[in-house]
Structure 1
Amino acid sequence: IHLYEPLHRKIFEVAGDIIRMGKIANPVTIKTFLKADEKVGDMTVSQYLARLVRNAVTVINAEDYGRAIYDLALRRALITIGEDMVNIAYDAPLDMPPQTQIEDTERRLFELAENGRYDGGFQAFNDAVALAIDMAAVAKERDGGLSGISTGIHSLDSKMGGLQRSDLIILAGRPGMGKTSLATNIAYNIAAAYEGEVQSDGSMKAKNGGVVGFYSLEMSSEQLATRIISEQTEVSSSKIRRGDINDADFEKLVACSMMMQKVPLYIDQTGGISIAQLSARARRLKRQRGLDVLVVDYVQLMTGSGKSNDNRVQEITQITTGLKALGKELNVPIIALSQLSRQVESRDDKRPQLSDLRESGSIEQDADVVL
């Protein structure tokens, strides 16, 4: 509720409850649920309710009045965030670097911009049920009949139902097994299939495909682009790097590059990025360009944000927990690549197990899907 006065919030809540019960909300029915001895200036609650009714406006411009109240509530929230930012900057503890405060302030501002509030809370179960029904309706209308975002790989979609929002999907394998190749294929397929739909508030929402953010901690953006072009044109990447291509291959490369310029695939090639930096940049991308899928290549190359640098297990735990929280915050699926330990090579049965995930058991604990 965005009303400032506590009494106004209480009146609004009581009126809403009465209306939901199918009864009439008026000063007579509302005052029985308020404290009789409560004073508003020199007026009783009953007198104040009667005065509110006398000064009530028509419902013709109700939306405009509601938007004015909402805008003022956002301004109060901005003031609170600004005051907190100033107070923390003045009295920041020694173990809190300025970058941490910047990331925390950016997170609060993003949540305020996205949700109209900067604090979490309980959600009514009927709201969750409505969201589930909406998801089923979207799946019915979407190409392929998937509740999630299609990866472009039919065998994978049939098992997972597409990439589900807020899921953390771990794609694991030994070095050289094709993790990055599969991840780039999925990322490009989603971005290439993007179809935007204008919402009532003027924002864009993906009808098919989606906007993809790709954190490439291992490869440069040029290497990643070369790999995608090679996969799409079926021209060997080694030939592209050496320039050992004929005119026909070159024409295919040019045509592919022209098509790829329109694809909403954004690459961040920063190496050794921390989970806090990754989260801040993902929020910024969603706010500026939109974001439907996030890919991280790969988890073991990330760093933690705290003081656990001397304990790699705790650091990986912090990273995977942060990725899962980020997926829920942005409401997007996150595909995180991970290395497998050498144990899988020392066994007769080479099929990997969850315990083979390298450096931390939290990866299997936080993941919704492990491939």
Structure 2
Amino acid sequence: MDATGDSQGQGEIEMSYYSIETEQALLGSILIEPDLIYESVLNPEHFYQEEHRLIYENMLQMKGKQEKIEVVSLVARMGAAVQDIGGVQYLVNLSSTFPMVEQFAKHEQIVKEKFLMRTGMTSIKQLYNDMPDNPRELAAELMSLSESIGDEVRTEGGFRHIKDGLMDHFDQLERKKEHGLASGAKTVGKALDKLTGRWKKQTLNIIAARPSVGKTAFMLNNATEAGKDGMTVAIFSLEQPEVQLLDRMIAAECRIDGENVRDAKLTDDEWSKYTMGLSSLAELEIYIDDKPGRTIQEIRAAVRKLKKKHPELIVFIDYLQLIHGGKKFAGGRNEEVGYISNSLKQMARENDCPVIALAQLSRGVEQRQDKRPMMSDLRESGNIEQDADTITFLYRDDYYNQETEKKNIIECIVAKNREGSVGTAEMANLRQYGKFLDLEVRH
């Protein structure tokens, strides 16, 4: 094919990413029925042609000042700039030649979709020019791009009549009642359940503590409890390999000393417990991904895939600050962690499931007389506090004070609860087993 043919082919490809006629019809409809500007969800940047961006921007300014949008008033507002769009005659032509008012919503959708196509192509070209150093980073960038465009498309749902929502609510209540999931996913403790109202679908729940307090053991106890309650459990372990998690889960389930499990030094009685515990755990729908260095895009993709097969899903992540953002962040690590926490919240929403993420606390805790954690102790907090629906801190007084009266007791301090109360729930912490129990049943 000669150069002319190539040029024509390129032009055909470019044309698929904008529609001048649709933009003209949309602007002409507003000139015919000015109140349509109050229904419009577009921004000037959504228009491909610069002249149309300028016209629409002036229309929005008139909307903000409660001015009626018509050709004469629009010309007066634009002043000399009207010549940049082809003069007064161009506006007259828009209002007389192109208007199809009844198609306004459809035209808006086309303009928005063309904009998303152009944005995607621009991002792909930029990605090509700034090619990452490795295929994993490239995959993360592509998934991030896909998710950002997908999020834009999903925001176009619009209104629903309350009757439809109420019917869905009734169906969900019946289904939850039938399956025993009326209040969300159970936590490992009744007192914590009562305080938090359980872990509800579409929520991001943060469990935070200093190292060695028991975050991972607490997570595994809750994961096992969710599995026993009939849920499918996804565990992303970015810090520890699967075998270490299984050691802990078996010790807690079988009430066997964790060191004996790890070192394979089991008594005859413990072997019996071990065999029974293994059978019990094997029946649960628990899936473990222990690959280190996971990107948030990889996690979202894996959860989306699992959700298709298992509707009643709950996700645990150990831990948030070990997740990679998958791309470069001009604002440094705080911006990256903020992006990750926001992505986890979106993941909970789009998959209609609870997400529980562990988080590390800063060393600032150690420098205070009262070592109980506070919101400001969240390391590289970014938007964690804003995105989370619940934030629970784990605190052991016997970790810091050998003379404490609260030996083998862990405090679950609910510092944020978007839909319920804040306060503290205490649980027994049988550390040799890595087991957490309600205080009244610890014996």
- Shorter-chain TM band: 0.5 to 0.7
CA contact (8 A) 1:355 1:361 kept: no
CA contact (8 A) 2:186 2:199 kept: yes
Q: Structure 2 unaligned runs (5+)?
A: 1-115, 133-137, 393-443
The equivalent residue for 1:245 is: 266
Aligned pairs for 1:312-351 (under 5 A) are: 312-351=333-372
Report deviation, 1:181. 0.8
Q: Percent identity?
A: 31
Report deviation, 1:287. 2.2
| Matched position secondary structure for 1:308 | coil
Aligned pairs for 1:146-165 (under 5 A) are: 146-165=182-201
Is 2:122 aligned against 1:122?
A: no
Which amino acid is 1:163 matched to?
A: W
The equivalent residue for 1:281 is: 302
Distance 1:141 1:152, change over 3 A: farther
State how far apart, in whole Å, the 2-side matches of 1:96 and 1:137 are. 51
Q: Deviations over 1:202-250 (max 9, x none)?
A: xxxxxxxx10100011111111011000001111121112221112211
Scaled by the length of structure 1, the TM-score of the pair is: 0.64
The equivalent residue for 2:129 is: 94
State how far apart, in whole Å, the 2-side matches of 1:226 and 1:355 are. 33
Q: How large is the RMSD of aligned CA atoms in angstroms? A: 3.3
Scaled by the length of structure 2, the TM-score of the pair is: 0.55
Which amino acid is 2:139 matched to?
A: Q
Which amino acid is 1:263 matched to?
A: L
Aligned partner (choices 267, 292, 299) of residue 271 of structure 1: 292
Distance 1:328 1:266, change over 3 A: same
| Matched position secondary structure for 1:351 | coil
| Matched position secondary structure for 2:129 | coil
CA contact (8 A) 2:335 2:382 kept: no
State how far apart, in whole Å, the 2-side matches of 1:290 and 1:94 are. 40
Is 2:240 aligned against 1:219?
A: yes
Which amino acid is 2:143 matched to?
A: E
CA contact (8 A) 1:229 1:256 kept: yes
Q: Deviations over 1:169-194 (max 9, x none)?
A: 00011111111111101111111221
Name the count of aligned residue pairs: 272
CA contact (8 A) 2:140 2:295 kept: no
Q: Deviations over 1:28-61 (max 9, x none)?
A: xxxxxxxxxxxxxxxxxxxxxxxxxxxxxxxxxx
Which amino acid is 2:198 matched to?
A: G
Which amino acid is 1:148 matched to?
A: G
Is 2:215 aligned against 1:179?
A: yes
Distance 1:193 1:140, change over 3 A: closer
User: If you compute each CA radius of gyration, which structure gives the higher value, 1 or 2?
Assistant: 2
Q: Structure 1 unaligned runs (5+)?
A: 1-80, 112-116, 195-209
The equivalent residue for 2:228 is: 192
